[in-house]
Amino acid sequence: MEKKEIKKEKMIENVKEDANKEKKEKEKHLEKIIDEQSKKIEELENQLKEFENYARILKSQFENYKKDVAREKEQISISTIGRIVEKLVPIIDDFKRAFKNIDDETKKTQFFKGMEIIYKNLFKILEGLGLQEIKVGDKFDPFEHEAVERVEDEEKEEYSIVEIVEDGYKFNGRVLKPVKVKVSIKPRR
């Protein structure tokens, strides 16, 4: 009986050993799968970080693009308004010339008063859009003035303004039309 029991025990031991081997193989296989899955997870996490960074960059680029487009639209709008205002400046000058040459009798008429109101309203609208009349000081400024005539004068300082011939205008700080002036110069000897 002992032989049977020894055989039985050996069989049990063999079965246990086989089971242990099988268990170890399964554990190795599971470890291998876990390693592979861990690597895949790590790879996917890296890809996710890359996509998140790309999304952040893309978002900031899009925000910058929107700002650039808004700035461009503003510039186009200002430029367009400037061109329209520039086309209307001669009309303002025509009004001023007409008003200078009107006699006192005509100034009392309703027609003249109506034209004066139209002129004032037009000028107010253009000022609201950014038109400014250039203020004239005593000295000639080549950036804002255009000398249309030189007047010899001993007493006045050279290049001082003697007379304003025609008003000048700026639009948003840019000279649309320089002030036309007469300037004094010292007589030649």
Residue 151 lies in a domain: yes
Residue 41 lies in a domain: no
Residue 5 lies in a domain: no
Beta-carbon contacts of 102 under 8 Å, excluding residues fewer than 6 positions away, are 112
Our CA angle for 12, 18, 24, nearest 5°, is 135
Phi, psi of 160, rounded to the nearest 5 degrees: -90, 150
Characterise 130 by phi-psi region: left (phi > 0), alpha (psi -120 to 50), beta (else). Answer: left
Residue 42 lies in a domain: no
Residue 35 lies in a domain: no
In a 3-state reduction of DSSP, which class is residue 179? strand
User: Domain of 162: which CATH number?
Assistant: 2.30.22.10
Characterise 173 by phi-psi region: left (phi > 0), alpha (psi -120 to 50), beta (else). Answer: left
Residue 86 lies in a domain: no
**Sign (positive or negative) of CA dihedral 151, 155, 160, 166:** negative
- Is the separation of the CB atoms in 126 and 92 below 8 Å? yes
Residue 179 lies in a domain: yes
Distance CA 186, CA 189 (A): 9
Residue 148 lies in a domain: yes
Distance CA 88, CA 144 (A): 19
Task: Give residue 37's pLDDT.
Answer: 92
Instruction: Look up tokens 């700026």; give the residue.
Output: 170
3-state SS of the chain: helix, strand, coil percent to 5?
A: 65, 15, 15
* Structure tokens given for 135: 């203020």
Phi, psi of 141, rounded to the nearest 5 degrees: -120, 110
Task: Give residue 1's pLDDT.
Answer: 56
Q: Which domain holds residue 147?
A: 134-189
**pLDDT by 10s per residue, the chain, length 189:** 566 777 777 777 777 787 788 888 888 888 899 999 999 999 999 999 999 999 999 999 999 999 999 999 999 999 999 999 999 999 999 999 889 888 888 888 999 999 999 999 999 999 999 999 998 888 888 899 999 988 888 778 888 888 889 999 999 889 999 999 998 888 776
Q: Number of folded domains in the chain?
A: 1
